[in-house]
Structure 1
């Protein structure tokens, strides 16, 4: 029980790791949504892997926006320019989707199994997502909250 408590205090309850931990949880759910949609489209219905990737990535991305905005980064400021934020979010996810498509294409061209190629390409894209969300899409709000707390 002490080990679980230490893990909880180090990662879940730590302010230092809170964003990374929440982002990872959301990412896990996004991954499940993305992977299931990809499997259904590609393996069950025989849809081309590029189209399957785009559609499945879109499903995970929608979930990602909602959960990261309101839970991970607690960006509930109503006066904020939502359209600008959505455009930034789409830009980050377009870059991430591009990386995953390039990775998927390279791996598929080298005779990888489509599901293994999907997993590897998803891992490659996650760093882009976290950095983009943390420092660009939701970063202004986070920085203003930390600055306000320090001043108080």
Structure 2
């Protein structure tokens, strides 16, 4: 997409042209990527929980899988940035900070939801949505205006 003065530059493509993506386009792509990452994250988390891993450990492994998936898609598709070890490390540091928020919300909401006599699947699904929603907002802000800024 090409557009207005509020657009942000994308990457240089093979033909030497620069595609400019609007904030709206980036936000849409970020959300779609987040859905894919969330499926990987929650799927891993819940399967590991069913396999007997505790909530904290299963959430940690699921978060790592979901985070790597989302980073790779966002770097290439959403923000169209070239590969960079420095950018990867900064992104992982940002994810580590949001991980602390996410896993805390996940673990804090489980007992609260269990008190409502919900099925274990729904307890963890709702806890995941609360934690993931918060992390998604934080991650977009950090990635858009800090990590992938031009």
Q: Which category describes the TM-score, using the shorter chain as reference length? A: 0.5 to 0.7
Instruction: Calculate the aligned-residue CA RMSD, in Å.
Output: 2.7
Residues 1:46 and 1:111: Cα distance change in structure 2 (over 3 Å): farther
Instruction: Identify the match of residue 106 of structure 1 among 99, 109, 112.
Output: 112
From 44, 48, 65, the counterpart of 1:41: 48
Residues 2-38 of structure 1, C-alpha deviations (whole Å, 9 max, x = no match) = xxxxxxxxxxxx8343222212221221222122223
Unaligned runs of 5+ residues in structure 2 are: 1-20
Instruction: Tell me what 2:30 maps to.
Output: 23
CA distance 1:124–1:39, change in 2 (3 Å): closer
Q: How many residues align?
A: 130
Q: Distance in 2 between matches of 1:90 and 1:21?
A: 23
The answer for the alignment partner of 1:7 in structure 2 is none
Q: Which runs of 4+ in 1 moved over 6 A?
A: none
Q: Which residue of 1 aligns with 2:78?
A: 72
In structure 2, the partner of 1:119 is: 125
1:100-152 Cα distance to aligned partner (Å, 9 max, x none): 222233223443222112221222123432332222234235543xxxxxxxx
| Larger fraction in helix | 1
Matched residue SS, 1:75: coil
2:142 matched to which residue of 1? 136
**Distance change (3 Å), C-alpha of 1:89 and 1:48:** closer
1:57 counterpart (59, 63, 70): 63
Q: Distance in 1 between matches of 2:59 and 2:147?
A: 31
C-alpha separation in 1, matches of 2:85 and 2:63: 29
CA contact (8 A) 2:37 2:70 kept: yes
Alignment partner, residue 89 of structure 1: 95
Find the residue that maps to 1:112 and give its secondary structure.
coil
TM-score of the pair, normalised by structure 2:
0.67
Work out the CA distance in 2 between the residues paired with 1:81 and 1:31.
22
Higher strand proportion (structure 1 or 2): 2
